[in-house]
Amino acid sequence: MGSKQIISKLGINSQEFNFQFQSHPDYPSVLAFSDTLNFLSVKNEAYELKKEHWEELPEEFITIYNDNFALVKKEESGIKVFSDDVQNVSKEKLYENSTDFVLLFEKENISKEKKIFNFYWLFNGFLIFIFGYSLFFLNLQNTLFNLLSIVGLFISFEIIRKKFGDKSTIIKNICGSSATNTTAKNDCNKIINADKTDILGLKLSDLGLLYFSALLVLGIFSPFTDSVLKFLSFVSCLVIAYSLVIQIFIEKVLCKVCLLIIGILIGQIIISSLYFGNAIILNTIALSALAFLVLFFALVFINNLIKQKEEYKKSDIKNLKFKRNYGIFKRELLEKNRIIFQSTEIFRLGKSDARLHISLVSNPYCGFCKEAHSILEKLLEKYPDDISAQIRFNYFPDAANSNYKNLINDFLYVYNKKNRELIKSVDYWFEHKNEKKLREYYNSQLHNSDLTEILNISIENEGQGLNFTPVFLINGYPFPDKYDRKDIFYFVEELLEDEEIINEA
């Protein structure tokens, strides 16, 4: 079910979304899609809503259009649908091709995808540079030859992208609807998948990338390498014959993108036979062979790296599907005995009638506690009506120095003044780790508050064996050791609906 345009439109990280979506136990269901958006901090709600009420929907919403997830945007000029591609449709066509599923999201929660180094644009920039160089420094025939190499290299690169699961708009446009129809006369997928070539793990499409890369490198040094380019062009006759045999006699379907590459190869054969000489220069041949070998083994190395990455990714997805199964998580959560605390009022945050209560056993001088407090802060921000929390510091006067005592006093001062600021003050502390700076920031003074309740909390923690920090407890159940604390974001929606867990609050 397509979602590429939705992810682009929402501005969230596409790789992260695809990984989280595919690793969901219910992939590719609506639940998996909604949960993944929630996990990436795009809060949303799903509904079944009859078309007669769609006029009341906001300007942007998500539905299922032509069996794909699609973002619908109402504009003055009409309706835009963002799915695998962008379409302008009428209201009637939208209603006719959509289900009653509607997903509403809060756009203000969306964090834009970080701009990262983009190899794809660097690759295209390199091709443009080579063409510009050829245009200004080489003769017409060499420029045309290099241009054909550039087009061939670009198409080969797009085929490689498709092979590793990345959608290629170029290949789709060339092949048209046949790209997904295995019975069509022009079937790209069938021919590409029928490739049985295996040279150190390289397929014919990989060798195409190698071939055009070598031609482009050698083409830069024209006319000194013309004889080598001519020889390689005639060698490509074998590839042309092999491809045509596969298409016509074995698979009995034609591949438009393959025919385009054949056209490029024939064009280079014609140019080289008409304009390139036959002079044999041993130094040029030796350097050409060396360049070809370097490119070959570099491609083998890169191809193996990408394959390993894909295998690891598939393995991670399988493992996460198992790990993120709510039934397994719940079993692990309820496996340990529930802990009921008596001291629950001090350092308590959120609504008292919240469905989930999280206890965080912590220590301000524990380095690992910073992440735990950050997770707790995000949970309280995202679910202010559904989640409450208590921070349970382990503090024993006999073992604590004056700095720790003063720090606890400062937290207590902030809590008593405005309890909602406590989580912010703890976050400020972990950011700066400076008692004096914290005191100045919150304008608190050195004082000796009654820390009896804090001590009672610490005694309770110790009595339950909660000496090591941090520790999360959900409605009294210790968070399972087999899970990372941040995994709670993935299960929180189901926890909030689980009556067995809620009734333990």
Q: Is residue 484 part of a domain?
A: yes
| pLDDT of amino acid 183 | 41
Q: Is residue 318 part of a domain?
A: no
Contact 45, 103 (CB under 8 A): yes
Domain end, chosen from 291, 308, 325, is at 308
Q: Which domain holds residue 349?
A: 337-502
Q: 26 - beta bridge partners?
A: none
Residue 317 pLDDT exceeds 90: no
pLDDT band at 159 (very low <50, low <70, confident <90, very high): confident
pLDDT in tens, 107-127: 654 444 444 445 667 878 888
Total residues belonging to the chain: 505
Residues 70 and 171 in one domain: no
For 200, left (φ over 0), alpha (ψ -120 to 50), or beta? left
| pLDDT of amino acid 189 | 72
Q: 60 - beta bridge partners?
A: 73
Tell me how far apart the 2 most distant CA atoms of the chain are, in Å.
97
Residues 201 and 291 in one domain: yes
Residue 182 pLDDT exceeds 60: no
Rounded to an integer, the average pLDDT of 255-270 is: 92
Burial letters for 153-162: b for 16+ Cβ neighbours within 10 Å, e otherwise?
bebbbbbbeb
Please tell me the distance from the alpha carbon of residue 195 to that of residue 162, in angstroms, as a whole number. Answer: 14
For 120, residues 6+ apart whose C-beta sits below 8 A from its C-beta are none
Rounded to an integer, the average pLDDT of 442-465 is: 84
Q: Is residue 316 part of a domain?
A: no
Residues 351 and 432 in one domain: yes
Q: Is residue 332 part of a domain?
A: no
Contact 326, 488 (CB under 8 A): no
Q: 478 - beta bridge partners?
A: 473
Rounded to an integer, the average pLDDT of 342-351 is: 88
Residues 147 and 288 in one domain: yes
Strand ranges of the sheet holding 86-89, from the earlier edge strand across to the other edge: 44-48, 98-105, 60-65, 68-75, 78-82, 86-89
Please tell me the distance from the alpha carbon of residue 415 to that of residue 457, in angstroms, as a whole number. Answer: 16
Residues 349 and 290 in one domain: no
Residues 79 and 226 in one domain: no
Burial letters for 229-253: b for 16+ Cβ neighbours within 10 Å, e otherwise?
bbebbeebeebbeebeebbeeeeeb
| pLDDT of amino acid 12 | 79
pTM: 0.55
**Helix, strand, coil % in the chain, rounded to nearest 5:** 60, 10, 30
Q: 388 - beta bridge partners?
A: 357
Q: Where are the beta strands (DSSP E) in 84-145?
A: 86-89, 98-105
Residue 151 pLDDT exceeds 90: yes
Q: Is residue 58 part of a domain?
A: yes
pLDDT band at 35 (very low <50, low <70, confident <90, very high): confident
The 3-class secondary structure across 410-457, one letter per residue, is HHHHHHHHCHHHHHHHHHHHHHHCCHHHHHHHCCCCCCCCCCHHHHHH
Residues 216 and 347 in one domain: no
pLDDT in tens, 184-195: 444 677 777 666
Q: Is residue 319 part of a domain?
A: no
Q: Is residue 329 part of a domain?
A: no
pLDDT band at 391 (very low <50, low <70, confident <90, very high): very high
For the chain, what is the domain count? 3
Domain end, chosen from 81, 109, 137, is at 109
Q: Indicate which CATH number applies to the domain containing 468.
A: 3.40.30.10
Residues 101 and 149 in one domain: no
Residue 173's identity, in one-letter code, is N
Residues 275 and 232 in one domain: yes
Contact 156, 212 (CB under 8 A): yes
Contact 98, 65 (CB under 8 A): yes
Q: Indicate which CATH number applies to the domain containing 31.
A: 3.90.70.10
Q: Is residue 326 part of a domain?
A: no
71-75, 261-265, 438-442, 443-447, range with the lowest pLDDT: 443-447
